[in-house]
Each structure stands twice: as C-alpha cells, then as structure tokens.
Structure 1
C-alpha cells in the first residue's frame, strides 16, 4: 500500500477541519460525531486518529481557525473603509447582525455559533475562545477609537474597550437569540436582528 505524502496528509487534515468547522457550527460540538464528520470529509472513521488524538482536540483547532477567519474578515471590512471608521463599524454590524448570517451558521462566525460549546467544554475550549475574543476586542477597540477621533472626541482606552466589548456581546447575543426562534417565529427573529442593528449602528 503506497505511503501517503506529507502534502496529502496536510490536505486531509484541512478537509477534516473544514467538515468539523461546518458541522460544529451548525449542530454543536456534541451534535455531530466523528464518523459523520469523516464521511462528510470523504474519509474513513479510522483515519481520524492519524490527525487528531480526540474530538476535543479537533474542536480546539476549529476554534482557532474559526476566529482567525473571522478576524481576517473584520480586517477586510476595515480595509474597505480606509477613511471612515464609522462606515467600517456600520458595515461590521450590518454584516454580523443579518438574516444571511443567522441562516448560515455553518459558514458564519465562530464567536456566535460556538459560544455555548465553549462554555460547556471546559478550560481548554474557553481558553481558545478567549484568545479569539481578545483578537476581536483589539480590532473593534481600534475602530471605536478611530471613529471617536474622526468625530472629534478622545475617549480613554478603557472607555473604548468597554464600548467594543458591548458591541461584540450584543452582536453575538442578537444572533444567538435570532437563531433560537428563527423557525418558531421568523417575524420575531427578524425583529431581533432589526432592533439590534438599529441600536448598534454608530451614531
């Protein structure tokens, strides 16, 4: 039997992480098993352990990759509005607190899709979530400071961080609540998104 190349092993690992990223975000870490994940990745169940010692280790990688992707997307939003931090903040809110994001958790931000899992899966998962949160807070705090300066005010670093933390938590919370009632009451779900977008858009 031919030996697998390092390049193929790397590609196989990426396929597993991609399948897990979408599966965990849609169903939760406990809502989908290794066998189904590997089937989605086009691989056999036994091959999983060539790449990860456990499902929990795979989940940690999903957190890391998920937040890295989200931070790249946030950087792209900021880069798209080089002259207006206000426009960047509004774009961030409108994209995050949206029906499209609500309806597609499998391709959306890990911060909302995996928040409950992080809380339930112990210190290692929470540490990865915290690292991602730190990245988000740093990026949003900078945007808040830029917006304030462009508006002619000068908040303290602590005030800007508090505003960033509030923005992040309300965006995540709005998405979680909107998803929680999306099938039972689509009108209310849309209302949750609309009300929070209105409150979160920068003045």
Structure 2
C-alpha cells in the first residue's frame, strides 16, 4: 500500500522521535531495527525507505536529541540559569535517561560511532556551548566561552557519573559538588 508524502514524513518523524528516546535509554547497539520500528508503530520493511542505514538513523536521531536539548536549555536558561542548573542535576533528570540530556546518554556511543555521528555530536556540543555562553558572567566573549565549556563539562560529567553509580548517596554527592563548583549559576 502506497502512503502519501505527508504520511511518509509523519512516519519518518515518529521513527526519529522513537530512536532519539530509545538510543538515549539503551544506546545505539542496545536496540535492533525491529524493536525500534515497532516502537514507532511501523514495520521493519519501511526502515530503508527513510534511512540509508542504522548509522544514518543514529546520526539523525542524535541531531534530534541534541536539538531538543538546545531548545530546552535556551528556554530554561533565559528564565533562570540557577533554576535550570538545579533541574539539570535533579534526581528526576538523573533517573530519566530516555527524556534526558542527549550529551550524557549518547557520548559513549558517539565516541565509538562513525564520522557522521561524531560530526553531529560535535555540532550539538558547539551549539549547547553557544547557548550557555550567552548566560555566562564574564565580560569578554573568550572568557564566557571558556566558562560555558567548563559548565557544560561539569554538568555532563556529574550527571554521567551519577547515573553510572546508581541510586546511591554518592550519586547525589557528585551532583551537589558539581552544583557548588560551577563557573556560573552555582548556589
């Protein structure tokens, strides 16, 4: 049965949304095409009509996840950088991989991924640094960029380690220490 262009685009968007969530939850190798397509409400047969390969999907889903992060970060940091930092390092964010920060969830996969995924990830990091840079207190742009990079690295590292140690006191300690020592937006 032939689908309209509008339906094909809607199907593609569903696949990307599902992949962005599932890759954050399970990693690129943690889910097969059958399960991924099923989560989008489609069959595996339609996959190659939308993507060249699973690597192509991984790159596009990474872009989707990181664009979503940037939109959220921009909206939230415009309101209050301190409130956003608190939310980023919260138990809720720590415990929800599929809806959480794509940098934390996908960094390991991106490091082992192909050139397309690495490029998308690098662009995503650069965009998030630019978003944070606008909020940094330094007077000169190079210092604001450096503060943004330090803040991003601290936040991502703290959340990554917190998730890795599980639901323990150490998880909370890591996030509290990061919050306390941020270059901007700390307590």
Match of 1:135 among 121, 127, 133: 127
Query: Where does residue 163 of structure 2 map in the other structure?
Result: 179
Unmatched segments (≥5 aa) in structure 2? none
> 1:10, CA displacement in angstroms?
0.9
Question: TM (normalized to structure 2)?
Answer: 0.93
Q: How does 1:45-194 map to 2 (within 5 A)?
A: 45-80=44-79, 88-144=80-136, 147-148=137-138, 154=139, 156-183=140-167, 186-194=168-176
Query: Where does residue 21 of structure 1 map in the other structure?
Result: 20
Cα-to-partner distance string for 1:109-131 (whole Å, 9 max, x where unaligned): 21111011111103221110110
SS at structure 1 position matched to 2:181: helix
What is the number of residues matched between the two proteins? 185
Distance 1:124 1:4 in 2: 29
**1:6 matches 2:12:** no
Distance 2:64 2:129 in 1: 17
Distance 1:118 1:66 in 2: 13
RMSD of Structure 2 on Structure 1 (CA): 1.4
SS at structure 2 position matched to 1:143: coil
> 1:25, CA displacement in angstroms?
0.2
> 1:100, CA displacement in angstroms?
1.0
Contact 1:99 1:193 in 2 (8 A): no
Contact 2:163 2:171 in 1 (8 A): yes
Question: TM (normalized to structure 1)?
Answer: 0.86
Query: Where does residue 42 of structure 2 map in the other structure?
Result: 43
Cα-to-partner distance string for 1:39-72 (whole Å, 9 max, x where unaligned): 1111111111111111111111111111111111
Contact 2:97 2:105 in 1 (8 A): yes
Tell which structure's C-alpha radius of gyration is larger: 1
Sort the Cα spacing of 1:20 and 1:182 in 2 relative to 1 into closer, same or farther, 3 A: same
